[in-house]
Amino acid sequence: MLHEEALGWVIRMRDPEFTDWDAFTLWLEADPAHAPAYDALLAADADLPDLLPADPIFVGAPANDPGERRWRPMRWIGGGALAAALVAALSIGLWNRTDIYSVTTRPGETRTIALNDGTRIDLNGGTILRLDHNNSRFAALDSGEAAFTVRHDPRNPFRVTVGDALFEDAGTIFNIVHSGGMTRIDVSEGKVIYNPQTQAIALPAGRALTQDATGLRVMNIARQAVASWRQGQLSYDNMPVAQISADIARSLGVRLATTPGAGAARFTGTIRLDRNAPRFFATAAPLMGLSAIRQGDGWLLKEGDAAPR
């Protein structure tokens, strides 16, 4: 949160029309940590133009005029673009900080992390998560799946960055999947705010949000189904098999593909996980109205309910 606030001031003060010096001074004086955070980002300010969308936010000269261009005031930038730029800048900066570390799991491997603030994070297989040695209220999910059981602190909310998205807790248990350009969050307790500085979509318990190339979708979910992989099962309500297959592969550590027809099929129900792949697919594939066949060192789900081989 501190780095986001400091970055916000750096961007605002790029505006030639910036005049809000009193507010900036009050922010600097509010906490001794504010000035060092601002100075650190200001030192890297030369790289910031590359992180913000250039073409839509320059004004003042015709398109064919090679003359000087200036930054459009921050208030003119679209909320979604600004949120993406802020998260991108934070993410790039995080890779270069020595206090940031990564936790990874192999496909089929799970791991539990206990943070100093009392928050617990359960990682499913094939996951990359970044954490901060100096800030236990931050996480960045780069890929995979993680379930968060957060100790709520209204003065210092727990935040998770996932690609261009930012999720902020409000006393919460939630599960996030980030894979193949798709992000999905399911909330089982409390509330999560999606991009609190822009869209500010509130997700209370029993709600889910999916973000992919087609846009955002918010839906109802069964609270008991959230992060059900921790109990050795996967629960779905009208979910595409293509997405289910990615969950199976991540949870069991198997290579799994689907035919177009099988991937487009939808399934409602609960699938019990079993690390014995032939035995698992013998049960799971017919349950989804499909068949499973070996394909090299992996498996293929296809139409039909023939026994796996």
Tokens representing 78?
Answer: 């679209």
Q: How confident is the model at residue 163 (pLDDT cuts 50, 70, 90)?
A: confident
- Do residues 116 and 88 share a domain? no
Q: Which pLDDT value is given to residue 46?
A: 44
- pLDDT at residue 288 tops 50: yes
**Domain range for residue 6?**
2-93
- pLDDT tens readout for residues 108-120: 999 999 999 899 9
CA 305 to chain centre: 35
Please say whether the dihedral angle defined by the alpha carbons of residues 30, 36, 40 and 43, taken in this order, is positive or negative. Answer: positive
Residue 25 lies in a domain: yes
- Do residues 133 and 211 share a domain? yes
Instruction: State the CATH number of the domain containing residue 198.
Output: 2.60.120.1440
CA dist list (Å): 282 to 105, 291, 299: 27, 8, 12
Percent with pLDDT over 70 in the chain: 69
Tokens representing 93?
Answer: 């900066």
Mean pLDDT of 10-19: 62
The one-letter code for the residue type at 81 is A
Residue 308 lies in a domain: no
Q: How confident is the model at residue 3 (pLDDT cuts 50, 70, 90)?
A: low
- Do residues 252 and 282 share a domain? yes
Cα separation, 133 vs 137, whole angstroms: 10
Mean pLDDT of 13-29: 67
Domain boundary among 70, 93, 116: 93
- pLDDT at residue 36 tops 50: yes
Domain boundary among 173, 201, 224: 224
Instruction: State the CATH number of the domain containing residue 241.
Output: 3.55.50.30
Cβ(187)–Cβ(174) below 8 Å? yes
Mean pLDDT of 211-223: 91
Cα separation, 129 vs 5, whole angstroms: 23
For the chain, the maximum distance between any two Cα atoms, rounded to a whole number of angstroms, is 72
- pLDDT tens readout for residues 121-130: 999 999 999 9
Pick the more confident residue, 48 or 157.
Answer: 157
- Do residues 289 and 274 share a domain? yes
Q: Quick check: helix, strand or coil at residue 200?
A: coil
Residue 209 lies in a domain: yes
Q: How confident is the model at residue 54 (pLDDT cuts 50, 70, 90)?
A: very low
- As a dihedral over the C-alpha atoms of residue 231, residue 142, residue 137, residue 27, rounded to 10 degrees, the angle is -150
Residue 78 lies in a domain: yes
Of 39-43, 46-50, 143-147, 209-213, the one with minimum mean pLDDT is: 46-50
Mean pLDDT of 257-286: 95
Q: How confident is the model at residue 96 (pLDDT cuts 50, 70, 90)?
A: low
- Do residues 116 and 77 share a domain? no
Residue 309 lies in a domain: no
- Do residues 135 and 192 share a domain? yes
- Do residues 132 and 175 share a domain? yes
Tokens representing 276?
Answer: 């014995």
CA dist list (Å): 22 to 18, 25, 31, 71: 11, 5, 15, 22
- pLDDT at residue 197 tops 90: no
Average model confidence (pLDDT) across the chain: 80
* Degrees to nearest 5, angle at CA 300 with 176 and 291: 105
Residue 188 lies in a domain: yes
Number of structural domains in the chain = 3
Pick the more confident residue, 83 or 13.
Answer: 13
Cα separation, 118 vs 51, whole angstroms: 34
Reported as type and span, the H/E element at residue 185 is strand 182-189
Q: Which pLDDT value is given to residue 237?
A: 87
- pLDDT at residue 262 tops 90: yes
Cα separation, 36 vs 224, whole angstroms: 44
Q: Which pLDDT value is given to residue 305?
A: 62
- Do residues 25 and 65 share a domain? yes
Cα separation, 211 vs 185, whole angstroms: 9
- Do residues 150 and 82 share a domain? no
Cα separation, 253 vs 249, whole angstroms: 5
- Do residues 173 and 218 share a domain? yes
- Do residues 137 and 179 share a domain? yes
Q: Which pLDDT value is given to residue 268?
A: 94
